[in-house]
Chain A
Amino acid sequence: QKEVEQDPGPLSVPEGAIVSLNCTYSNSAFQYFMWYRQYSRKGPELLMYTYSSGNKEDGRFTAQVDKSSKYISLFIRDSQPSDSATYLCAMSAYGGGSNYKLTFGKGTLLTVNP
């Protein structure tokens, strides 16, 4: 079983739809949870960062963490064509020294159709 599981999609939705992206994990040591957006041939861009169970909202984006179920989600409201990208969940655990290593999901390719 991989440490982080993410459905790679692809996911195609009409403009204005609510998008739900999910990841599950098996490592209880994960303490911090992130969502990144990656456009083609670019580096990942941080969207959301949280470390506690519950919801965190930032504009059209809501991150949800359920540590008891080892499950995280990203919701995108009023999706726009510019949201079309690959969305990566990432989690970090203490990796020794002063370092927290990131473990990524495989990424979900999202296309928002105008």
Chain B
Amino acid sequence: GAVVSQHPSRVICKSGTSVKIECRSLDFQATTMFWYRQFPKQSLMLMATSNEGSKATYEQGVEKDKFLINHASLTLSTLTVTSAHPEDSSFYICSAGQYSNQPQHFGDGTRLSIL
């Protein structure tokens, strides 16, 4: 149980492109999903908390206009990197938990490379 699916797993695109990443909870409903960013040999850094039916909560230093989050249903959250630039290249990972105080389960991540 508690499977989280993330797509796509790999994106390579030109600078200025907008990229959408999907995160789905396959066998449970998630009112809250989380988006993280991970640089090579670094730990996961929380970018934002995505709440179904309401605005996302962004961590300090994360540009909400650059990283658009939509959580339209209890099983789907999307992260759109708008007008991506090479410095946005990173490993983006989503997670979800069945209940607010339960452990989060992670997707397999999306490796984004902006040329």
Q: Please indicate the chain B residues that have their CB under 8 angstroms from the CB of A31 in the complex.
A: 101
How many chain A residues sit at the interface, stated as a range, is 20 to 34
Residues of chain B at interface, number, CB under 8 A: 27
Question: How many Å lie between the Cα of A50 and that of B73 in the bound state?
Answer: 29
Q: How many A-B residue pairs lie within 8 Å, measured between CB atoms? A: 60
Q: Please indicate the chain A residues that have their CB under 8 angstroms from the CB of B57 in the complex.
A: 96-97, 99
**Are A101 and B105 in contact, with the CB atoms below 8 A?**
no
* Residue in B31, B44, B106 whose beta carbon sits within 8 Å of that of A98 in the complex: B31
- The answer to whether residues A41 and B109 also contact, given A98-B31, A98-B32, A106-B42 and a CB cut-off of 8 A, is yes
Tell me if A21 is interfacial: C-beta within 8 Å of chain B. no
Q: Please indicate the chain B residues that have their CB under 8 angstroms from the CB of A98 in the complex.
A: 31-32, 100
Q: How far is the CB of A104 from chain B (nearest CB, A)?
A: 4
**Are B100 and A101 in contact, with the CB atoms below 8 A?**
no
Q: Please indicate the chain B residues that have their CB under 8 angstroms from the CB of A99 in the complex.
A: 32, 49, 51, 57, 100
Which chain B residue has the least Cβ–Cβ distance from A88? B43
Tell me if B93 is interfacial: C-beta within 8 Å of chain A. yes
